[in-house]
């Protein structure tokens, strides 16, 4: 009876047990990468089946089956394991986020009309942004590794230079353009914004021999403002140069997002960005949407 129960529970070949008329009270068998331990005290039989390592030693944490038999009664415990083999896709995807870039920064309205928006006019050629993307990670999801989800972390420094003799300042909870003091002409008036950027992009690469050729990516970039200021540079009547911070904060949204498009070849690319969210909090500043185009060098 005991022999029949063991055969049914641990699925051993019938010939193995038929070869022995009697079983020792303590028996250990190595079979099909399993260690089978049988202990018979006369009153109770214990059967344990373990996974084994390279030295045919049992792995204590890998108990596959355990059975206790006494007086015609049995208690059984099984561990069911499922091994899932992932597709052997190539993992050599080189994402295009990390690197350094520079671009022209400007503002638009909801219809993508550029500059001279809601009374704000910028010096388009001198309004710049700098991108330093320090981390990136790709998650390929196609068999030939042409497509991947890309994320990472970066920093952005945006410098919006006004084309008029004004500066941004918050007065009574509202940010607006304020004129320079009488007799002062600004040499430069800037709105500076420093931000953290976190992308979520879908990237395609035309891969050949495990090296990236042409690439294209699109998605969204989360933007978290860290520092902002309104600064001016001017000379007084004596010709002395002055740099002055006029305000900080100014009701700029702490968190926004951009739509990003990128395209390029190997380590060099161009990008275009547009934010569907206004730069200033609703009703607390000009209705401006940041836009930019630029060049990005990837590492």
What is the phi/psi pair of residue 6, to 5°?
Answer: -65, -45
| pLDDT tens readout for residues 42-90 | 677 788 787 887 777 777 667 777 777 776 667 776 665 444 444 444 4
The pLDDT, as a whole number, for residue 12 is 42
Predicted confidence band of residue 26 (pLDDT cuts 50, 70, 90): confident
| pLDDT tens readout for residues 106-164 | 999 999 999 999 999 999 999 999 999 999 999 999 877 789 999 999 999 999 999 99
Record the pTM.
Answer: 0.69
How far apart are alpha carbons 11 and 3 in whole angstroms? 11
| pLDDT tens readout for residues 161-202 | 999 999 999 999 999 999 999 999 999 999 999 999 999 999
CA contacts within 13 A on the Cβ side of 44: 5
User: 160: closest CA among 112, 229, 106?
Assistant: 106
């Amino acid at each position: 009876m005991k022999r029949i129960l063991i055969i049914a529970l641990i699925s051993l070949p019938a010939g193995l047990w038929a070869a022995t008329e009697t079983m020792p009270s303590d028996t250990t068998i190595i079979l099909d990468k399993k260690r089978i331990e049988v202990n018979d005290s006369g009153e109770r039989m214990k059967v344990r089946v373990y996974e084994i390592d390279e030295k045919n030693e049992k792995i204590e944490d890998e108990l596959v089956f355990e059975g206790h038999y006494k007086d015609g009664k049995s208690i059984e415990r099984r561990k069911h394991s499922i091994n899932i083999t992932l597709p052997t896709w190539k993992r050599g995807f080189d994402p295009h986020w990390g690197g350094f870039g520079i671009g022209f920064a400007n503002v638009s309205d909801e219809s993508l009309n550029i500059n001279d928006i809601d009374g704000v006019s910028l010096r388009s050629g001198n309004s710049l942004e700098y991108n330093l993307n320090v981390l990136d990670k790709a998650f390929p999801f196609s068999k030939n590794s042409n497509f991947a989800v890309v994320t990472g972390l970066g920093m952005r420094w945006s410098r919006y230079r006004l084309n008029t003799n004004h500066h941004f300042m918050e007065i009574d909870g509202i940010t607006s353009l304020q004129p320079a003091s009488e007799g002062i002409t600004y040499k430069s008036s800037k709105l500076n914004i420093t931000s953290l950027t976190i992308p979520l992009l879908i990237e395609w690469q035309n891969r050949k021999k495990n090296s990236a050729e042409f690439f294209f990516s699109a998605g969204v970039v989360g933007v978290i403002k860290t520092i902002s200021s309104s600064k001016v540079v001017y000379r007084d009547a004596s010709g002395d140069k002055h740099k002055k911070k006029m305000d900080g904060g100014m009701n700029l949204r702490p968190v926004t997002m951009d739509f990003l498009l990128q395209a390029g070849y190997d380590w060099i690319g161009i990008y275009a960005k547009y934010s569907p969210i206004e730069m200033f909090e609703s009703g607390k500043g000009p209705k401006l949407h940041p836009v930019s185009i630029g060049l990005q060098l990837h590492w």
